[in-house]
Structure 1
Amino acid sequence: MRPVSRYLIWLALPALSACAQPDMEDHPKYETYEAATEWPGKQSARTPPAGTVARDRETLPPRPA
């Protein structure tokens, strides 16, 4: 094996090991309007901060074709 190939393998191993991330469905989450003990006001659904801009399909510019 050539020395360059060995270095590439050693560089690729850490990069590939970082690809395995847990699924979002396995993380703890709140159901809509569920009481939250960690937040002030005990609400999981909170009002967005002032100046927040909605990023929905209707507000985004169309994608170029």
Structure 2
Amino acid sequence: MNYRELIRKKREEKGISQNQLAKLLGISQPYMNQIETGSRNPTLPLLMKICDILEIPMFGENTQNE
């Protein structure tokens, strides 16, 4: 699963619309849609905010301490 699919999946699981997430992030809904469809890539700070809001681990769920 790529990051776009993961963002959409987690957003839908939490019952958050694209518009609601965009408002929380301080971006437009069309920009949020472009991130989810892959026509635009988020900046790292924006991606970090998305992960924080949607509770997505930045390095994947299978990260193990070595």
TM-score past 0.5 threshold? no
Q: TM-score, normalised by structure 1?
A: 0.22
Larger radius of gyration: 1
Structure number with the bigger relative contact order (C-alpha 8 A, sep ≥ 6) is 2
TM (norm. structure 2) is 0.22
- Structure richer in helix, relative to its length: 2
